[in-house]
Structure 1
Amino acid sequence: MITPRFSCAQTAESVMISVYCPSVRASDVEINIDGNMFSLHVNPYFLRLNFTNSVVEDDASSAQYDPSTGYLTVTLTKEIKGQEFDDLDLLAKLLAPRPTVQEPLIETQKLSLHDREILEAAQNDWQLPQRIPPLEQPSLTIRVRYGFLDMHSGYFTNVAYTENEVNELGFEAEVLTPSERRQRRIKHEDEKWDEEHYMADFADDGYIQELTRWTHPYLSHTHKVTYTEKENATMLNLPRKEYLLTDVQTHNLYLTLATILFSYAYDMRTNQCDPTPESAWTICSLTPSFSALDPPPCSSECDPKLGFSLNEISSTFVASYRRSFAFPLYRSFILAEKCRKRTVFRCLLEMKDILDHHDVYYVYSKVWLDDLCVWTQTYASDDVFARLGVLVKDASITKDSIGWDLDQLEDVVRQHPHEGEQREVDSDDE
């Protein structure tokens, strides 16, 4: 646990604690009051303060989080109004554990296991170790930015304390340049590529063939889409922002959106529109701009004013195809081909709902999906979507462009049908 930076102040009626805990969800904050002890927990931060006098939670108490600054301000009511709280500026004294009271020895052998656990917890008093947080020093390195229009930073500062299995950059996510992120992503894909897994799915493709015949319900809609109450509530909670974009930025956003929709289409096809607990992992793992903070850039020869080209669309999807062959349970070229279908705003809302309810991967909703939903609804062009949809459908991704010997592996399976049926079970199967 990390002891966050904090400061305390007081008025005649209240004590105010200002805690710096950037990039957290306000709904995850846990606050407890026990007499003169205040404790706060929101992963990965823990803070326990022992005041000289008692505080209480009442109607005048509050907790407000400002995501733009990363500060959580907690206001607590003094049990005795007008009482002076001493030493609020002595951080080490506030962090010191509460003195333990020597309890008489109890013969624990006669207690049940449940009662012994309760006794040990009470005696321990959950006095987790704390240290005075260091003063913030000016960084000698330039913090990079990422996400929608490169507007975000700091979300992966404490990534070592979260179970983010899709983050391929580790703690270096805050310092790697875009070109370094791309190199790291390609290297990780090559390491995860498993020839036997691909051959096995090619040899025994009965279920994959069934998945490719499935049709997403949205593709059969001929009437006007009516949003549900839940979707309307989500739209009302989206940020109110105005975006001033260049032609290149707009062009890149459409390309990024296409790769995100590919990941959505893969997950929805493999679970047939019934999201599972693994859906958040699947969507984030297959999206380069999430897992490696590596959105597709405008190619060097493209001119955004002239629109998109088939070659550019094909190049954009190469990364999505590679990831669909390296990470998820089903790894098939024909399955990847089926995932290039156009659905937009409602799909973004569904992805946002899936990620918002995940304890770790909600971060990708914050740095990408929130703004993408606003931009798609307010600024994106229906005409561009229509043209882009046609290009996505007509684009050709060759197996040679993936970088792995897919044709050769498939030929081996055709010549030796049982070659790929047996393989070792790996962690992805589990």
Structure 2
Amino acid sequence: MITPAFDLTQDPDSLIISIRVPYTRTSEFDLYIDGTEFKFYAKPYFLRLNLPGRIVEDGREKAKFDIDQGLFTIHVPKQTPGENFEGLKMLTSLLVPKGSRSAGPLVEDMSRGSEEVGDGEEFDEEFDWQVEQELYRESSEEELRALQKYGFGNQRCGVFARLQEELSDVIDLKNPEGTSVAERRQHRLEAETAAFSADHYLADLFEDDEIKGILKFKPWWAKLRPSTENEAKYDVSFSSEEKEQLRKFTNRSYLLDKTSRHQAWCSLLDILLAYVYDVRLTEGEHSVESPWTIRKLSGTLCWLETYGSLQEVLVSFGRRVLCYPLHRHFALVSAAIQDATKILQAGKACVLKCLLDVHKVFRENDPAYILNDLYITDYCIWIQRVKSKKVPALAAALEKATLNKSDLNLELKELEEAATMVVEEEAQGSSERTSASQRDSSSSEEWDSDDCTEAVEEGNGGGGKASKDSPPQPHSTSSIVPIPHKSSSLLFSEESRNTDAPSSAQEEERTQLIQELGERVAEELRISPEPSSAAAAGGGTSGNHNVGTPLDVNPCRNPLVIVQTEEEVESKEGDSTS
């Protein structure tokens, strides 16, 4: 806690307490009045006074705040009107907590006390839990001149010297009072490089469904209608809350040199870029993360940075968008630049409305309200007094400016090329694996089809078309007996012509022999079916090698072998007789 600078005066009926609390939230402060004790709290300031007289809280107390000087003036009624409070100028004694005016013993026996006090025992004296306070000392002009400048127009210094507890929650710069402008930029670039995540960037680059939805959103400045007034191009209206906030601002004049004015315009653009990014990201409804997002994306608010050109602003904003927020895509950087251009083209009224929205976001956040006192409040007052042609001129310069990925010095092109090669290799490997699996499945289907065909051919007894792998096997020569080319009747007729005319007895015997031979042939020979029917039964074609001749020879002995000539019969009979 910080003990603020204070002063006490009195009149016959009341005690007047003046407390200087710059850079505090005036909407939230607490007062405690109880007899001779007075307490005041407005984060980060705390004041406790032990008064020489009694005061009361009966509804007559009143307070006012001077925002320019950061001064609270509180009137508290005296319990006894007309009473004179002595020692109001003894500020150090007024800070002493109640009950601490009596001095304790100068020498204390610590060994004796340690023996008497054991675990679980209480001290004889009541422990004083009051917060220690030190009288605030204003810095001299020489000390202030030695400190680094920051804030609107680089006109502030020494602010964070008294706000050490809030420092880390507001800005990323560790020692703003002793860090030069060049050192701030160097520290900022190093922090951005360390915070950049290639995996996060590539994930948003290749999985950009949410990014596309954010880019399709149309913010309120994209819906502005042309105005009939000559002063502005678009009709910008303010809500009752915004008008009330404008009435609370104190009219100030700012004496800025040329360099400070140029830096003020650059910082204004930096703040606008961070604001439009948050509006697009939240679709026009600020969230609890909005104070963090706006100040984090703005180098002006987060690092107390000062810029010398528009290109420096764009590069800083682009780097911070790709390093810190949830969605890190270069298309969001381009969209924010276009949004800021439209706002500037709409005139200073549109810029003022954006600044009032930022002021409200920071006003409702505990640590970020300090940035209102350093930057936003001054910008809200200053933008109303600038010439109207300055804002469109900045818009024209921003519209001509270009920002490429190579300008950010984050090696984005190399990352994207490497990631694209990896994706293509994975896609190619996946397609090769798919085609290989398809070939394996088709070959297995062909093998299954061939196996089925062979099984069918074997089941049909060799019918059908002959397979190249299994040509038809020839019949065994032992089961085949050659059939004479001439019929038996012709054979007998030729034999009869070579012999003499037979007798009648021989003729009967020959006829009987022929009949017996015919019967035996009929019994021994099998008539095969026609080739067409055989082909139909076997599932083959007429040119099949397995189709038999009209007379299939039975494996049994051929009866035609017994046919003998008459001379052979006689010679056999003679041999048997002899």
TM-score, structure 2 normalization: 0.60
Query: Could you tell me which residue of structure 2 aligns to residue 98 of structure 1?
Result: 98
Stretch moving more, 133-142 or 201-210 = 133-142
> Could you tell me whether the CA contact under 8 Å between 1:239 and 1:371 is conserved in 2?
no
Q: What are the within-5 Å matches in structure 2 for residues 17-416 of structure 1?
A: 17-58=17-58, 60-99=60-99, 127-133=129-135, 135-136=137-138, 138=140, 140=143, 142-162=146-166, 164-170=168-174, 172-223=175-226, 224-298=235-309, 313-340=310-337, 341=339, 342=341, 343=343, 344-382=351-389, 384-416=390-422
Whether the aligned pair in 2 keeps the contact of 1:280 and 1:358 (CA below 8 Å) is: yes
Runs of 5+ unmatched residues, structure 2? 101-125, 227-234, 344-350, 426-578
Query: 1 CA distance for matches of 2:372 and 2:424?
Result: 43
Please say if residues 31 and 39 of structure 2, whose CA atoms lie closer than 8 Å, have aligned partners that are also in contact: yes
Instruction: State how far apart, in whole Å, the 2-side matches of 1:349 and 1:70 are.
Output: 20
Deviations along 1:132-182, whole A, 9 cap, x unmatched?
Answer: 326446464612322222232333223322275340223x22332222222
1:214-258 deviations in Å (ceiling 9; x for gaps): 222311322322222222222222331233444444333332222
**2:322 aligned counterpart, secondary structure:** helix
Give the Cα–Cα distance (whole angstroms) in 1 for the partners of residues 188 and 36 of structure 2.
50
Partner Cα separation in structure 2 for residue 266 and residue 96 of structure 1: 51
- After TM superposition, give the deviation of residue 362 of structure 1 in Å: 1.6
Residues 165 and 416 (structure 1), Cα distance of their counterparts in 2 relative to 1, 3 Å cut: farther
Counterparts in 2 of 1:207 and 1:247: CA distance versus 1, 3 Å: same
Change (3 A) 1:418 1:62: farther
> Do the aligned partners of residues 126 and 271 (structure 1) sit closer, same or farther apart at CA in structure 2, a change above 3 Å counting?
farther
What SS does the corresponding residue of 1:149 show, helix, strand or coil? helix
The answer (yes or no) to whether the contact 1:239–1:370 under 8 Å persists in 2 is no
The alpha-carbon distance between structure 1 residues 85 and 417, as it changes in their structure 2 partners (threshold 3 A), is: farther
**CA distance in structure 2 between the partners assigned to 1:314 and 1:135 by the alignment:** 42
- Root mean square deviation of aligned Cα: 2.8
Q: Which amino acid aligns with 2:200?
A: H
Q: Which has the higher helix share?
A: 2
Q: CA deviation at 1:59?
A: 5.3
Q: Who is 2:16 aligned against?
A: 16
C-alpha contact (below 8 Å) 1:164/1:360 kept by paired residues: no
Please report how far the alpha carbon of residue 267 of structure 1 lies from its aligned counterpart in structure 2 after TM superposition: 0.3
Q: Which residue of 2 aligns with 1:118?
A: none
**2-side partners of 1:281 and 1:199: how far apart?**
24
SS for the counterpart of 2:305 is coil
Greater CA drift, 315-324 or 173-182: 173-182
Give 2:566's aligned residue. none
Distance across 2 between alignment mates of 1:197 and 1:191: 13
> Contact conserved, 1:44 with 1:158, CA < 8 A, in 2?
no
In the alignment, residue 253 of structure 1 is paired with which amino acid? Answer: A
Give the CA deviation at 1:30: 1.1
Q: Secondary structure at the match of 2:3?
A: coil
Task: Render the CA deviation track for 1:177-235: whole Å, top value 9, x for unaligned.
Answer: 22222222222222222222212222322101221222223113223222222222222
Q: Give the aligned residue type for 1:80.
A: T
Q: What code does the residue aligned with 1:332 have?
A: H
Cα 1:350–1:4, aligned 2, differ >3 Å: closer, same or farther? Answer: closer
- Which deviates more from structure 2 when the two are superposed, residues 333-342 or residues 244-253? 244-253
1:335-387 residue CA offsets vs partner (Å, 9 max, x unmatched): 111111221232222112212222221222222222222332331434x4334
Aligned 8 A contact 1:348 1:369 in 2: yes
Structure 1 residues 274 and 407: alpha-carbon distance in aligned structure 2, compared to 1, 3 A threshold: same
The residue matched to 1:225 in structure 2 has which SS? coil
2:383 alignment partner, SS class: helix
Q: Normalising to structure 1: TM-score of the pair?
A: 0.80
Shift of 1:73: 3.0
Q: Distance in 1 between matches of 2:6 and 2:264?
A: 38
Q: Is the 8 A contact 2:204 2:328 kept in 1?
A: yes
Letter in 1 for 2:35: G
Does the C-alpha gap of structure 1 residues 398 and 377 become closer, same or farther in structure 2, counting only changes over 3 Å?
A: same
Relative to structure 1, the CA distance from residue 207 to residue 126 in structure 2 (aligned partners, 3 Å threshold; closer, same or farther) is farther
For these two proteins, the number of residue pairs brought into alignment is 381
Q: CA deviation at 1:58?
A: 4.5
Structure 1 counterpart of 2:134, which letter?
I
- SS of corresponding position for 2:134: coil
CA shift, 1:80, in A, is 0.6
